[in-house]
Amino acid sequence: AHLDRVAAVDGAVEAFLHVDEEAVLAQARRVDERLAAGEELGPLAGVPIAHKDVFTTTDMPTTAGSRILEGWRPPYDATVTARLRAAGLVILGKTNMDEFAMGSSTENSAYQVTHNPWDLGRIPGGSSGGSSAAVAAYEAPLATGTDTGGSIRQPAAVTGIVGAKPTYGGSSRYGLIAFASSLDTPGPFARNVLDAALLHEAFSGHDRMDSTSIDKPVPPVVRAARRADVAGLRIGVVKEFGGEGYQPGVLDRFNEAVELLESLGAKVVEVSCPNFTYALPAYYLIAPSECSSNLARFDAMRYGLRVGDDGTRSAEEVMALTRAEGFGAEVKRRIMLGTYALSSGYYDAYYGKAQQIRTLISRDFDAAFEQVDALVSPTTPTTAFPIGERADDPMAMYLADLCTIPANLAGNAAISVPCGLAGEDGLPVGLQIMAPVLGDDRVYRVGAAVER
Q: Pick from 103, 187, 326, 411: which binds ligand GLN (CB under 6 A)?
A: 103
Q: Please calculate the CA angle 435-242-381 and round it to the nearest 5 degrees.
A: 90
Alpha helices in 117-220 (DSSP H): 129-136, 153-159, 193-203
CB of 250 to ligand GLN, least distance (A): 18
205 touching ligand GLN, by CB under 6 A: no
Phi, psi of 129 (to 5 degrees): -70, -25
- Of all helices (H) and strands (E), which one includes residue 356? helix 353-371
Whether residue 131 lies in the annotated active site: no
Per-residue contact track with ligand GLN, 156 to 185, x per CB under 6 A? -----------------------x------
3-state secondary structure of 136: helix
- Cα 50 to its chain centre, rounded Å, is 13
Q: Pick from 27, 62, 116, 127: which binds ligand GLN (CB under 6 A)?
A: 127
Q: Pick from 151, 292, 377, 379: which binds ligand GLN (CB under 6 A)?
A: 151
**Window of 116-124, 149-157, 221-229, 351-359 that interacts with ligand GLN by CB under 6 A:** 149-157
Nearer to ligand GLN, 142 or 407 (CB): 407
Q: How far is CA 40 from CA 85, 89, 92, 142, in A?
A: 13, 13, 22, 21
280 touching ligand GLN, by CB under 6 A: no
286 touching ligand GLN, by CB under 6 A: no
Phi, psi of 117 (to 5 degrees): -60, -20
104 touching ligand GLN, by CB under 6 A: yes
> What is the C-alpha separation between 152 and 131, in angstroms, rounded?
9
Q: Pick from 114, 148, 289, 412: which binds ligand GLN (CB under 6 A)?
A: 148
Residues 236/376, Cβ–Cβ less than 8 Å: yes
102 touching ligand GLN, by CB under 6 A: yes
Whether residue 216 lies in the annotated active site: no
Residues 123/383, Cβ–Cβ less than 8 Å: no
285 touching ligand GLN, by CB under 6 A: no
> Dihedral through CA 417, CA 407, CA 382, CA 422, nearest 10?
20
- Cα 294 to its chain centre, rounded Å, is 18
- Choose the catalytic residue: 109, 127, 204, 416: 127
Whether residue 353 lies in the annotated active site: no
Applying CB under 6 A, the site for ligand GLN has a residue count of 14
> What is the C-alpha separation between 245 and 241, in angstroms, rounded?
10
Nearest to 145 by CA among 65, 58, 209, 31: 65
CB of 398 to ligand GLN, least distance (A): 7
CB of 234 to ligand GLN, least distance (A): 29
- Choose the catalytic residue: 66, 105, 128, 151: 151
> What is the C-alpha separation between 48 and 91, in angstroms, rounded?
6
Nearer to ligand GLN, 150 or 430 (CB): 150
Enzyme catalytic residues: 52, 127, 151
Contacts with ligand GLN by CB under 6 A lie at 101-104, 127, 146-151, 179, 287, 401
